[in-house]
Amino acid sequence: MTMDIMEIQQIIPHRYPFLLLDRITDLTKGESVIGYKNVTIGDNVFQGHFPGHPIYPGVMILEGMAQAGGILAFKSMDMTEEEVANKVVYFMSIDKAKFRSPVKPGDKLEYRVSMIKQKGAIWIFDGKAYVDDKLVAQAELKAMIVDK
């Protein structure tokens, strides 16, 4: 299953400048999702991180992973568009986060997120981020789907 930016925006509430997914390239319900963000010098974060030496912030990489995990959770629950519109994913915790290599303008940041566990409204994900198949960041993410 693939999704373009318009389909992504129907599921998660994030918008520019905080929508950190450009496309979903693969999704297996209840298992995993792969998506990406094209990192460009036009991204607002580079105004201050860091002038003359632009590095994409690790916290933004983690947020992109979380957004991909949110897509996986919503699509795994087989909710209608109306049900999705009345729910939101809250990021609860980040564990075992590691940043292995800097991400720079011009990189295609690929998120590979798989489900570790789901119990009720709680979801636990294994998130990894890659640039050119090189692991640049990873973390275990916990989220909860709640009513708006």
**pLDDT on residue 133:** 98
Alpha helices in 48-137 (DSSP H): 58-76, 81-85
- Burial status of residue 105 (CB atoms within 10 A of its CB: 0-12, 13-18, 19 or more): middle
pLDDT in tens, 45-55: 999 999 999 99
Closest Cα partner for 92 from 135, 139, 130, 35? Answer: 139
Higher pLDDT, 78 or 116: 116
Known catalytic residue: 53? no
Q: Which residues, other chains included, contact 101 with Cβ-Cβ below 8 Å and sequence gap of 6+?
A: 131, 134, 135, 136
pLDDT in tens, 67-86: 999 999 999 997 888 888 89
Distances (CA, A) of 15 to 6, 83, 102, 133: 11, 19, 25, 27
Catalytic residue among 22, 23, 28, 49: 49
Domain range 5-147, CATH class: alpha beta
pTM for this prediction = 0.95
